[in-house]
Amino acid sequence: MPSMTEAVPLSWVLLLAGALFCIGLFGALSRRNTVGILLGIELMLNAVNINLVAFWRYLEPNVVAGQTFALFVVTVAAAEAAVGLAMIIAIYRSRQTVNADEVDSLRG
């Protein structure tokens, strides 16, 4: 039985990652709910993680840099989610809404 790398070419994995990124981007841009936006961002980060792991596995299996980067991203994503959720709660407390369209105090 051929190895996984031979059975599934790299491009398929990259396509999956690209698709996931696009779904995440779409979610981040189109969702009005702030929690939805956060979810989209998580998706994009995970798409990047897939890329990192895929490049490591297919191109440089002897170096651990890809896995390490992926782990870092997961850690940062967790922290980001925590901070993001905290901000959403703070916004909700001050504005009684989590709708991103209504939070536009940066408008020029």
Partner 1 sequence: MAWFLQNAWLIPLLPLLGFGIITLTPIQRNRNASAWLATLLMVGATVIAIGTAVEVAGRVVVGPDGTVSVAGTEAHGADAEAATEIKAGHGYEWREPNIVRTIRWAPAGGDEPFTMGYIVDPAVAAMLVMVTITATCIHLFSVGYMAHDPRQARFFSFISLFSAAMLAMVMASNLLLFFMAWEVMGLCSYLLIGFWYDKNYADPAQITPRQAAIKAFITTRIGDVLLLVGLAWLWTEAGTLELGAGPGQVFNPALLERLATTATGTGVSAATGIALLIFGGTVGKSAQFPLHVWLPDAMEGPTPVSALIHAATMVSAGVFLTARTFPIFEASEALPVVAAVGAFTALFAALIALGQFDIKRILAYSTLSQLGFMVAALGVGGWVAAMFHLLTHAFFKALLFLGSGSVIHGMEATVGHDSNTSQDIRNMGGLRRFMPVTFVTYMAGFLALAGFPGFAGFWSKDEILADSFRTNTLVWLVLSLASLLTAFYMTRQVMVVFFGTFRGHHPRKQPHTTHGDHHHEAHDPHESPWTMTVPLGILALFAVFAGFVNLPYDGYHHLAEFFAQEAGKFNVLVIWVSSAIAVLGIGLGWLAYRNAFASAEDADPLQRLLPGAFTALNRKFYFDEIYAATFGAAAGVLARASTWLDERVLDRVVLDSGSFTRFLGQVNFIIDDTVLNDGADLLATGAQSAGDGTRRSVTGKVQDYVALVFAGVVVLGVIYLYVVR
In the complex, the residues that contact partner 1 under the rule CB under 8 A are: 25, 28-30, 37, 100-101, 103-108
Per-position DSSP letters for 9-55, written without gaps between them = -HHHHHHHHHHHHHHHHHHHHH--BHHHHHHHHHHHHHHHHHHHHHH
Q: Which two tokens mark 27?
A: 């979610």
Rounded to the nearest whole angstrom, what is the least distance from the CB of residue 104 to partner 1 in the complex? 3
Q: Which is nearer to partner 1, 27 or 66 (CB)?
A: 27
The angle subtended at Cα 41 by Cα 78 and Cα 5, nearest 5°, is 85
- Residue (8 or 55) nearer to partner 1, CB: 55
The residue (of 28 and 70) whose beta carbon lies closer to partner 1 is: 28
Query: Residue 49 Cβ, how far from partner 1 at the closest point, in Å?
Result: 18
